[in-house]
Structure 1
């Protein structure tokens, strides 16, 4: 049992690292190829680094990001915990290092297309998806993401909204560095990014709550445990029309598992009655830990 538990934790850790790396790569691509060449300071350590780089061009953006994140790492460890802090250090250092390498290997001196609005949208969409993936692994890419996580933990503000609040402060600072026009574009990007992250996280964390009424409830219960590796709740209910007592199974599963369960249930009981609801917040054993 202990060996199986360790194996599950190892697989979970590998999965987390893979997803964090994918998220990091997307964040870097969005920032470096689309936002940075247009001086779009759309918040975060990167946005603040772009503003500082404007006044101190001898300091590369990647180096400035490392300095900013170094201060915020301490805050992450103290306010949120070691697990979040460690993964955030890994992600933020990775993002800063990738940008630093790209600045040396593929220096970009001008925007790719010259269409600032087009590049803003592409940059925000790509980096926003990456940030949502990293957030979903209980990590962040550093910068104001850490502050957003703190707001989420202590004030229960949605992560996207927290990012929006923090990043708006940086876009206001960008007015001094780049003027009103670029800052307004950046502010638009910050707003889109905030809502995009919340929408993506909601979609990623959506589960299906399935209620099944069937005479073959015992077979279905075993299928859920052995094939879907999930628990379930079974209770007795009386039909309002038939007045007969029947067993009801309630299970919460991932979206991708529902078609399999649905197919199996109807393969053994054509008369089964199934209702399905979308669930966005689940806490407890087998899901996210309950946090205060």
Structure 2
């Protein structure tokens, strides 16, 4: 990765940390990922989110080193250090939500900021660690996709907040933040795509190829295959 990539990754992590610390955590909302686990521990025992999240990241990376590889571990250690360092700094600054008495507004803004942050990190080959480490380990030995395993893990973490607060609305808000963050991350990642490939199967391949070259001014490759 280049110097520019690291700058954008740090910017994305700062965006995530601010959205979480200023809007989501003060509303006592638990989201997915190891930050969500850190939130549960914080609400139960008062241990800062950053400490729990960082320790769990390091433990999981040590367990999954052979599965995820050296480069993933190094990128994740860097991101986890920056992210949890920023959360550790910002959390004491926002004992109350940034927008008073506007829970839904806070979770929408917080979820959007978290999603933009994750999108910036992923679009520049970074990693935030978290539940994707668990998902990678489980999918290595079971017939479950990483994406599906991450959904299972996040849903379990968010649902656990009901055992802490005994309020179903907290669970619903946590799910809204997580899905909104995923949607915003997809938007950011897709907006940074430099190339898009389409596969067109047709008997009129010559006419299509001429139209792509002459009208769309894009390149195309003709493949002759047999099933």
TM-score range, shorter chain: 0.7 to 0.9
| Residue 139 of structure 1: how far off its partner (Å) | 2.8
| Residue 92 of structure 1: how far off its partner (Å) | 0.8
TM-aligned CA distance change 1:137 to 1:148, over 3 Å: farther
Q: What is the CA deviation profile of residues 55-80 of structure 1, one whole-angstrom value per residue up to 9, with x for unaligned ones?
A: 111x2111111221121222453211
Residue pair 2:107, 2:177 contacting (<8 A) in 1 also: yes
Choose which of 203, 216, 227 in structure 2 pairs with 1:275: 216
Say whether residues 1:112 and 2:98 are aligned partners.
Answer: yes
Match of 1:42 in 2: 31
Residue pair 1:209, 1:276 contacting (<8 A) in 2 also: no
Match of 2:50 in 1: 62
Q: What is the CA deviation profile of residues 225-249 of structure 1, one whole-angstrom value per residue up to 9, with x for unaligned ones?
A: xxxxxxxxxxxxxx77xxxxxx98x
The residue correspondences of 1:251-290 to structure 2 (distance < 5 A) are: 273-275=214-216
How far apart, CA to CA, are the structure 2 residues paired with 1:15 and 1:146? 25
Match of 1:80 in 2: 68
| Residue 201 of structure 1: how far off its partner (Å) | 2.5
Greater than 4 Å deviation, 4+ residue runs:
148-159
How far apart, CA to CA, are the structure 2 residues paired with 1:115 and 1:149? 37
TM-score, normalization: structure 1? 0.61
Match of 2:161 in 1: 174
Q: Secondary structure at the match of 1:170?
A: helix
Residue pair 2:67, 2:136 contacting (<8 A) in 1 also: no
Q: Secondary structure at the match of 2:158?
A: helix
Q: Which runs of 5+ in 2 are unaligned?
A: 199-205, 219-227
TM-aligned CA distance change 1:199 to 1:158, over 3 Å: farther
Structure with greater strand share of residues: 1
Match of 2:125 in 1: 138
How far apart, CA to CA, are the structure 2 residues paired with 1:97 and 1:64? 12
Q: What is the CA deviation profile of residues 162-186 of structure 1, one whole-angstrom value per residue up to 9, with x for unaligned ones?
A: 6433211111111111221111111
TM-aligned CA distance change 1:208 to 1:63, over 3 Å: closer
| Residue 149 of structure 1: how far off its partner (Å) | 5.9
Count how many residue pairs are aligned between Structure 1 and Structure 2: 207
| Residue 193 of structure 1: how far off its partner (Å) | 2.4
Higher-Rg member (1/2): 1
Structure with greater contact order relative to length (CA < 8 Å, sep ≥ 6): 2
The two structures, once aligned, show a CA RMSD in angstroms of 3.1
Say whether residues 1:14 and 2:9 are aligned partners.
Answer: no
How far apart, CA to CA, are the structure 2 residues paired with 1:146 and 1:194? 17
